[in-house]
């Protein structure tokens, strides 16, 4: 399954790109236009169909692909910072690169702006495409780092150098219609996680170390996973959606397992906090769960203090290995069954770790959750909703809603 790459003259280094922080709107059909007043809410049925939502790499803002263009939103404070409106077509994938002016665009919706088998690298500072990737099948996802572009097809992943758009790696995967793929975003680590070739398997590539690790995460097919920013921890969920597991990506060790619930659920998103103290899980049950993690990387700059070929030390509580527990004593603990003391006698269900805090949402749409500052969780929904909630890091329980934006009711 080959690809065709086209680029404009010259090379582009993301480190030299300008920030996309201007609260203006320009027409995509021309390189210059008159500013328009930004809309305060996400797209709704009055103006454009919302086709996709995607976070930037630090979860400080997100992109909304619509049937008539795309928009960029800041999370704190919540506001629309940028938009491109057009009459010709929509975008099913809008991938940001932090807050710079480079975007990866894939057409989507009933009238796509570009064919769904093409990835367009758009430089909004120049108001034109600087690169184009064409494939024989539809693109399922695009992921960006400052040094590479990753394109996900259903059975293969292509990794390109950002500077000259040359192909670096090709990875075969099991059928991947969801476009599952994650990247690390620390400068010191270059890690990619994707489905393996077998059911329930996750493949982890440590490109800098030239190490490949295959992790048998679940018996059932993988439905969702995420990496920490340094790529050293992996959280996974299967299509059953009952158990979430945390792994060390260097050696594949399972460090912790938590239970979302007993009933089957479709996991929409997993998010690990920057401090690696919390895990957020959203699902089709209309609930966002927060779990307390008992693992973290030892040392703030551990990734730079190890000899090549040896990963940073990871620690966990109640571990069968010799690693010591390193976690602050004021952190909350996940709930457990009153019968958990009979572990090994009763079924595994009774010894499970349950969520520390939770927030209930309408079940009618797909939500994605991420962590904000100071024990806050940001939730965005495909119905155009935006929530910012806080939770008690000691006592847990329910969330406190701090900010809420809902789409305007559609007119008939």
Element holding 210 (H helix, E strand): none
Torsion over CA: 166, 167, 169, 175 (sign): positive
Nearest to 281 by CA among 291, 293, 289, 273: 289
3-state secondary structure of 300: coil
Cross-strand pairs, 343: 346
| CA dist., res. 154 & res. 357, Å (int) | 35
Other C-beta atoms within 10 Å of 169: how many? Answer: 13
Q: HSE on the CB side for 163, CA within 13 Å?
A: 5
- Looking at residue 87, the DSSP 8-state letter turns out to be S
Nearest to 181 by CA among 165, 163, 167, 194: 194
Task: Compute the C-alpha angle 90/271/100, nearest 5°.
Answer: 50
- Looking at residue 393, the DSSP 8-state letter turns out to be T
Instruction: Encode pLDDT of 191-223 as tens digits.
Output: 999 999 999 999 999 999 999 999 999 999 999
Q: HSE on the CB side for 411, CA within 13 Å?
A: 2
Length of the chain in residues, anyone? 412
Chain centre to alpha carbon of residue 51 = 17
| CA dist., res. 256 & res. 247, Å (int) | 7
The token pair at 230 is 């340094």
Which parts of the chain register pLDDT below 70? Answer: 1-46, 296-351, 406-412
Greatest pairwise CA separation for the chain in angstroms: 70
Residue with tokens 């997993």: 270
Chain centre to alpha carbon of residue 157 = 17
pTM to 2 decimal places? 0.79
Residue with tokens 């807050």: 99
Q: What is the reported pLDDT for 410?
A: 37
| CA dist., res. 28 & res. 96, Å (int) | 17
Sequence-ordered strand ranges (E) for 8-101 = 24-27, 50-55, 61-66, 69-75, 78-85, 90-96
Domain ranges of the chain: 17-28+36-144, 180-412
The token pair at 182 is 């994650």
Q: Is-contact 97 149, C-beta < 8 A?
A: no
3-state secondary structure of 20: coil
Fold of the domain spanning 180-412:
Lipocalin (2.40.128)
Element holding 289 (H helix, E strand): strand 287-292
Q: Is 384 left (phi over 0), alpha (psi -120 to 50) or beta?
A: left
Q: What is the reported pLDDT for 212?
A: 97
| CA dist., res. 411 & res. 186, Å (int) | 45
Q: What is the reported pLDDT for 97?
A: 95
The token pair at 74 is 């800041």
| CA dist., res. 399 & res. 280, Å (int) | 12
Contacts of 329 (CB under 8 A, 6+ apart): none
Mode of pairing for the β-strands spanning 397-398 and 357-360: parallel
């Amino acid at each position: 399954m080959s690809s065709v790459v086209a680029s404009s003259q010259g090379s582009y280094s993301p480190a030299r790109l300008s920030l996309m922080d201007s609260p203006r709107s320009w027409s995509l059909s021309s390189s210059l236009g008159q500013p328009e007043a930004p809309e305060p809410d996400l797209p709704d049925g009055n103006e454009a169909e919302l086709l996709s939502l995607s976070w930037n790499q630090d979860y400080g803002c997100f992109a909304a692909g619509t049937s008539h263009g795309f928009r960029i939103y800041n999370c704190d404070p919540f506001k629309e910072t940028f938009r491109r409106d057009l009459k010709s077509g929509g975008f099913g994938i809008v991938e940001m690169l932090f807050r710079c002016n480079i975007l990866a665009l894939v057409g989507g919706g009933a009238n796509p702006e570009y064919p769904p088998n093409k990835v367009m690298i758009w430089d909004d500072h120049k108001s034109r495409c600087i690169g184009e990737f064409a494939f024989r099948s539809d693109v399922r996802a695009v992921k960006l780092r400052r040094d590479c572009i990753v394109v996900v097809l259903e059975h293969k992943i292509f990794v390109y150098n950002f500077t000259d758009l040359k192909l670096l790696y090709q990875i075969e995967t099991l059928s991947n219609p969801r476009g599952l793929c994650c990247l690390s975003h620390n400068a010191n680590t270059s890690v990619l996680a994707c489905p393996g070739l077998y059911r329930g398997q996750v493949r982890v590539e440590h490109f800098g170390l030239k190490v490949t690790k295959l992790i048998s995460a679940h018996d059932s097919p993988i439905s969702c996973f995420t990496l920490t920013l340094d790529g050293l921890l992996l959280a996974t969920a299967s299509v059953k959606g009952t158990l979430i597991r945390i792994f060390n990506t260097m050696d594949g060790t399972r460090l912790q397992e938590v239970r979302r619930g007993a009933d089957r659920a479709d996991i929409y998103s997993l998010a690990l906090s920057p401090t690696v103290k919390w895990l957020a899980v959203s699902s089709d049950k209309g609930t966002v769960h927060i779990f307390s993690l008992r693992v973290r990387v030892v040392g703030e700059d551990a990734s730079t203090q190890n000899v090549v070929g040896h990963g940073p030390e990871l620690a966990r509580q109640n571990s069968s290995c010799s690693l010591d527990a390193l976690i602050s004593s004021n952190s909350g603990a996940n709930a457990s069954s009153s019968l958990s003391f009979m572990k090994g006698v009763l079924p595994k269900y009774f010894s499970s770790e349950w969520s520390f805090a939770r927030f209930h949402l309408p079940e009618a749409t797909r939500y994605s959750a991420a962590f904000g500052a100071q024990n806050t969780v940001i939730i965005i929904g495909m119905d155009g909703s935006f929530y910012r909630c806080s939770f008690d890091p000691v006592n847990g329980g329910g969330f406190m809603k701090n900010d809420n934006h809902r789409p305007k009711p559609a007119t008939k």
